[in-house]
Chains A and B, each alone.
Chain A
Amino acid sequence: QVPPKQWGAGLLKPSETLSLTCAVYGESFSGYYWSWIRQPPGKGLQWIGEINHSGSPNYNPSLKSRVTILVDTSKKQFSLRLTSVTAADTAVYYCARLGTSFWGQGTLVTVSS
């Protein structure tokens, strides 16, 4: 199995928008929910949200006002947008299918002026 591959900008200034994309290879895309999870340095995991192939998202209530997760089923990709970032959003961001070891490699996103 090929793990998901994720990419996006790693350094942002406060108030900018975080944007990451995750591509799924060689794995069934439909029929599952695909999640974004983040891990601040030295801390635990926090679920950001998820989306299925039909485009139905669920979001963490604490981030809902700033998060958008979209899906492109034709490309087997899904994306994360987080607006108005602050230093508190500095973390390693993962895309994943929960309940499996099918996780992306992680992207360190640092928010600093």
Chain B
Amino acid sequence: QSVLTQPPSLSGAPGQRVTISCTGSSSNIGAGYDVDWYQQLPGTAPKLLIYGNSNRPSGVPDRFSGSKSGTSASLAITGLQVEDEADYHCQSYDNSLSGYVVFGGGTKLTVL
């Protein structure tokens, strides 16, 4: 049971826009902690996609964008491409007994 809640799976056709949600609570996202997003291709380590809620590291296409509101965060992918098929994980911090660093359960994105 992850502290942050993500949909287990999503799918979309090439060219479409998809949004992955990450729902937390008042002890993590709602407490003002930043959210980072990671992309994990099969058999590889996670790669940072978005940091500080909405910032893209150098080299990440602007098709990827992040936002945060209240106790939730979202990752949007526009112009979906086949190579975007991967697992996506949100990560934040928590000030309760749930832990300190917390992750979502991950979302498997399938590009049809």
Residues of A with Cβ closer than 8 Å to B? Answer: 3, 35, 37, 43-47, 50, 58, 60-62, 94, 96, 98-101, 103-106
Chain B proximity of A16: nearest CB distance (Å): 25
A101 cross-chain contacts in B, Cβ below 8 A: 46-48, 57
Contacts of A35 on B, CB cut-off 8 Å?
A: 101
**4 closest Cβ pairs, A-B complex:** A47-B101, A44-B106, A103-B45, A44-B105
Q: Chain B residues in contact with chain A, CB under 8 A?
A: 2, 36, 38, 45-48, 51, 57, 89, 91, 97-106
Closest chain B CB from A43 CB (angstroms) = 8
Query: How far does the Cβ of B63 sit from chain A's closest Cβ, in whole Å?
Result: 18
A47 to B99, CA, bound (A): 9
List the A side residues contacting B97 at CB < 8 Å: 61
Residues of A within 8 Å of B51, CB to CB, are: 99
Sample of 5 further A-B pairs with CB below 8 A, known A47-B103, A61-B97, A98-B36 = A47-B102, A94-B45, A100-B57, A101-B57, A103-B46
User: Roughly how many angstroms separate A47 CA and B36 CA in the complex, as a whole number?
Assistant: 14
Which chain A residue shows the least CB distance to B8? A44
Q: How far is the CB of B24 from chain A (nearest CB, A)?
A: 14
How far in angstroms is the closest Cβ of chain A from B38? 8
A37 contacts across to B, CB distance below 8 A = 103
Known contacts A61-B97, A101-B57; A45 and B89 CB within 8 A of each other: yes
Provide 26 A-B residue pairs closer than 8 Å at the C-beta atoms, listed in order of the A residue. Answer: A37-B103, A43-B106, A44-B103, A45-B38, A45-B46, A45-B103, A45-B106, A47-B99, A47-B100, A47-B101, A60-B99, A60-B101, A61-B97, A94-B45, A98-B36, A99-B36, A99-B48, A100-B48, A101-B46, A101-B47, A101-B48, A101-B57, A103-B45, A103-B47, A105-B45, A106-B45
